[in-house]
Structure 1
Amino acid sequence: MSPSLRERVAAICAPLPGAEASDPWGGGHEAWKVGGKMFACIGSVTPGVAVKCADVETASMLIEAGVGARAPYFHRSWLLLPEDVPEDELAHRLVVSYDLVRAKLPRRIVATLPAREGT
């Protein structure tokens, strides 16, 4: 049996420095955060994982290219990747989202996080 989307996301996100999963709203959501800010979210009902893109234009381009769909309940710069997203695309989008969110954190919070290899 192949791993679930939650298992696939956890395998990619858990090793990221300072990444933590929680269910902030209850009901089976899984929000991955760094420095208290969300970079990925799996809902309790809608299939897929929402990730942050650099901007609205990038998210729109990825939607037009068929990579994902508009992430409901999120800003337009977020993208909803489907459950069957290829592993390389999933890993890339999760790491980009993590890096975008981490880069916007206050320096005092970044200073408390482990270093990110390869950046």
Structure 2
Amino acid sequence: MSRETVNALCATFAGATCDDALGPGHDSWKIGGKLFASLGPDTRTVSVKTDSIETAQMLIDAGLAGRARYFHKSWVAVPLDADPAELAHRIGVSYDIIRASLTRAVRDSLSG
């Protein structure tokens, strides 16, 4: 997937917004003010949240992702040239994890 395709996919999630809070050239995708996907200016990866450190390590060990620099160990960096279905799945899982962590009031205020 290209950076543009990843950004277009992230934009389809209810309540998703993009900013460059992490610095110029970063695409930081958030829901309810919390990050669910991040693309750096010079990287060919998208950083996403997993449900646990163990899941992140399993993805790294399987060669499906790498360690997401500057993020908690439960985050991974998935290459943009990964299988498109896997990449879309990982972004969707990250979105779902972050959305579930929001307060009910915030979740209820989101469209979709």
Q: Quick check: TM above 0.5?
A: yes
Letter of the 1:29 partner, please give it.
Answer: H
Aligned AA (1:48): T
Query: Runs of 5+ in structure 2 lacking a partner?
Result: none
- How far is 1:109 from its partner? 0.7
In the alignment of these two chains, the number of paired residues is 112
**1:56 and 2:53 aligned:** yes
Q: Structure 1: which 5+ runs fail to align?
A: none
SS at match of 1:39: strand
| Ranges of 4+ aligned residues in structure 1 off by more than 6 Å | none
Separation in structure 2 between the aligned mates of residue 28 and residue 56 of structure 1, nearest angstrom: 28
1:39 aligns with 2:36: yes
Q: 1:12 is matched with which residue?
A: 9
Residue 11 of structure 1: how far off its partner (Å) = 2.2
Name the TM-score, length of structure 2 as normaliser.
0.95
Q: What is the TM-score when the length of structure 1 is the normalising length?
A: 0.89
Q: Equivalents in 1 of 2:82, 2:19: separation in Å?
A: 22
- From 90, 93, 96, give the equivalent of 1:93: 90
Structure-1 separation of matches of 2:91 and 2:55? 14
| Separation (CA, whole Å) in 2 of partners of 1:88 and 1:46 | 20
Q: How far does residue 45 in structure 1 lie from its aligned partner after superposition?
A: 2.5
| 1:108 Cα deviation from its structure 2 partner | 1.2
CA distance in 2, matches of 1:26, 1:100: 24
Report the residue type matching 1:71 in the other structure: A
Instruction: Supply the RMSD in Å over aligned alpha carbons.
Output: 1.1
Separation in 1, partners of 2:21, 2:89: 25
In the alignment, the residues of structure 2 paired with residue 82 and residue 43 of structure 1 have an alpha-carbon distance, to the nearest angstrom, of: 12
Percent identity reads 50
Query: Contact 2:22–2:28 (CA<8 Å) still a contact in 1?
Result: no
